[in-house]
Amino acid sequence: MCKMKLLRLLPLLVVAPALIFAESKTPSLGFTGAPADHGGQDCSTCHNSFGAANSDTKGSLQVNMLDYIPSEQQTIHIIVQHPSASRWGFQITIREQSNETLSSGVFAVTDPSQPVQAVCDDGSQFGSPAPCNGLILRQFAEHQNAPVGDAGMAYEFDVKWTAPSQEVGRLHVYVSAVAANDDGKPTGDWVYTSVTTLNNAGGCDFTKAPVLQSVTNGASFQEQFSSNEMVSVFGSGFQTSGRTRAAGLGDFVNGAFPTELGCLGVQVTGPGLAQPVFLPITFVNPTQINAQMPEFVGTGPVELTVVLNPGAGNAVMSSMGTFHGLQAFAPTFFLFGNSTSIAAEEAVTGKIVASPNIVPGASPAKPGDIVSLFGTGFGDTNPSVAAGQLASGQGPLTNPITVTIGTTTLASSDVLYAGLTPGSISGLYQFNVRIPALTPNGDIPVTISIGNLQTPSGTIAVQQ
């Protein structure tokens, strides 16, 4: 038993010096503290003699850079110091806050004589040298041949970085640095980390007014909509050609969806609004905007304008459109693309409920299953949640509903929940219902009625 343990350990002892040398030459990728990489590990994973990063307050890490202007290059100054250190290393990555798995911008390629290099994450331990040749890879900048300096003196790495060509919301800059004692081992070194948030400082520069064509229910694309309904605005010139922006965490303001996305806003007036308001926006491309209506009082005409460069001196607006589709309720199911299949999932497991011909990997419901159906336009809830806000928990409907699956109208005991979807925008409603025991196989029609109005036809796949 003891001999076997020694034999297993021997290869590790043989390899270790080579790995230490390799780390001083170029570090393993993905140890900046970015949460999408190795669960947020940093250089203290190996250099941990003094505990976690930033444990020793005698040293420090400074990261000096400016908010980004799309397509412009800037120099990032990374300064690390410790009174007992004489060798230095670092690694940096910049991610979209809306999607931490995506790198943003490009680190400049430098010649081998420089202490800084740009590296592409190709899945290997150390990555491959930049440029990444157009591949969508996570990119890092880091030391090469970790420089040696005078003990106690700070060391500065200068990294050139070009911002993304268009605004992408806020960015997170992750840096992990090592202040080392230059003994060729990972022991006795100090690690410091930094996370910096960058905003778009480039402003918005649209010059041509957008064209507004129509406003529809965001699920059925019919003209009827209601207070707090998810809607779709159609037209042209909302973004530059090929440009798509979906709202993510980097766009949220005080925990709510933004009222400006991709340098675009949507302004409305209507019944009960003392002054125009901007809608929360979830998505925009050149011809479509997905947004949420505010709370109206009663019904009547709604006037809407699309604004580019909102709030700026160079703002340009579409002509105002007047729309008469406002109703007390406009109940509608969301459907899977190019089908009548209602967006649904198993209430317990979250597995998608649909025919696999519609959604690969999905499966039909079984009689007796409890499924969650999703829609919009179902009116007031208790508690009510303002447009754009996330529902922190359950918010049941305040008005009664009737659910019919196939030819069966469900008993109240088979409608386990009807209200806002916890954790989602307040325009998204969820219905947890039990499939009747005698439901036959096939695509079964489902409707929900509220306030004498009924959802357009939708189906759910059932297979015994």
- Same domain for 272 and 339? no
- Interval 286-304 mean pLDDT: 97
- Same domain for 128 and 144? yes
Helices and strands per DSSP (H, E), number in the chain = 1, 33
- Interval 102-131 mean pLDDT: 91
Domain that holds residue 279: 211-327
Q: Three-class SS of residue 445?
A: strand
- Same domain for 140 and 220? no
User: Residue 143 — φ and ψ, nearest 5°?
Assistant: -75, 155
Helix (H) or strand (E) holding 192: strand 190-198
Is there a contact between 455 and 447 (Cβ–Cβ < 8 Å)? yes
Chain length of the chain: 464
Which pair of structure tokens corresponds to residue 392? 């922190």
- Same domain for 338 and 424? yes
- Interval 336-347 mean pLDDT: 96
pLDDT in tens, 325-334: 999 999 999 9
Q: Which residue has the higher pLDDT, 134 or 353?
A: 353
- Look at residue 410 and tell me whether its pLDDT is greater than 50: yes
- Look at residue 390 and tell me whether its pLDDT is greater than 60: yes
pLDDT at 396: 98
- Interval 278-301 mean pLDDT: 97
Distances (CA, A) of 404 to 370, 372, 409, 412, 436: 14, 14, 4, 11, 10
- Interval 352-372 mean pLDDT: 97
- Interval 76-81 mean pLDDT: 97
- Interval 91-111 mean pLDDT: 91
- Look at residue 282 and tell me whether its pLDDT is greater than 70: yes
Per DSSP, which regions of 237-301 are E strands?
A: 245-246, 264-269, 277-278, 281-284, 288-292
Q: Which of 282, 307, 327 is the last residue of a domain?
A: 327
- Interval 397-406 mean pLDDT: 98
- Same domain for 175 and 41? yes
Amino acid identity, position 166: Q
- Same domain for 178 and 40? yes
88: Cβ–Cβ under 8 A, 6 or more apart, which residues?
80, 143, 146, 147, 149, 155, 157, 177, 178, 179, 180
- Same domain for 224 and 131? no
Residue 356 lies in a domain: yes
Residue 21 lies in a domain: no
What CATH number has the domain bearing residue 289?
2.60.40.10
Instruction: Give the DSSP letter of residue 251.
Output: G
- Same domain for 185 and 85? yes
pLDDT in tens, 137-146: 799 999 998 9
- Interval 413-429 mean pLDDT: 97
- Look at residue 75 and tell me whether its pLDDT is greater than 60: yes
Residue 19 lies in a domain: no
Q: Which of 289, 306, 327 is the last residue of a domain?
A: 327
Residue 141 lies in a domain: yes
- Look at residue 136 and tell me whether its pLDDT is greater than 80: no
Q: Which of 244, 247, 70 is nearest to 166 (CA)?
A: 70
pLDDT at 159: 97
**Residue 134's pLDDT band (boundaries 50, 70, 90)?**
low
pLDDT in tens, 1-53: 233 333 333 333 333 333 333 455 678 999 999 999 999 999 999 999 999 99
Is there a contact between 45 and 39 (Cβ–Cβ < 8 Å)? no
- Same domain for 44 and 173? yes
- Look at residue 173 and tell me whether its pLDDT is greater than 50: yes
Domain count, the chain: 3
- Same domain for 188 and 67? yes
Residue 193 lies in a domain: yes
Which pair of structure tokens corresponds to residue 191? 């690690």
Q: Which of 357, 333, 363, 310 is nearest to 430 (CA)?
A: 333
Lowest-confidence pick of 164-168, 271-275, 418-422: 164-168
Is there a contact between 173 and 195 (Cβ–Cβ < 8 Å)? yes
Is there a contact between 385 and 415 (Cβ–Cβ < 8 Å)? no
Q: Which residue has the higher pLDDT, 205 or 318?
A: 318
- Interval 388-395 mean pLDDT: 96
pLDDT at 310: 94
Residue 138 lies in a domain: yes
**Residue 209's pLDDT band (boundaries 50, 70, 90)?**
very high
Q: Three-class SS of residue 78?
A: strand
Of the chain, the percentage scoring pLDDT greater than 90 comes to 80
Instruction: Give the DSSP letter of residue 185.
Output: S
Residue 87 lies in a domain: yes
- Same domain for 77 and 192? yes
Lowest-confidence pick of 83-87, 120-124, 368-372, 440-444: 120-124
pLDDT in tens, 211-245: 999 999 999 999 999 999 999 999 999 999 988 99
pLDDT at 84: 95
Q: Which of 169, 198, 227 is the last residue of a domain?
A: 198
- Same domain for 350 and 431? yes
Residue 9 lies in a domain: no
Per-residue b or e along 207-236, where b marks 16 or more CB atoms closer than 10 Å to that residue's CB: eeebebeebbbbbbeeebbbbbbbbbbebe
pLDDT at 349: 95
Q: How far apart are CA 111 and CA 325, in angstroms?
A: 62
Q: How far apart are CA 188 and CA 453, in angstroms?
A: 72
Most confident among 27-31, 173-177, 198-202, 242-246 (mean pLDDT): 173-177
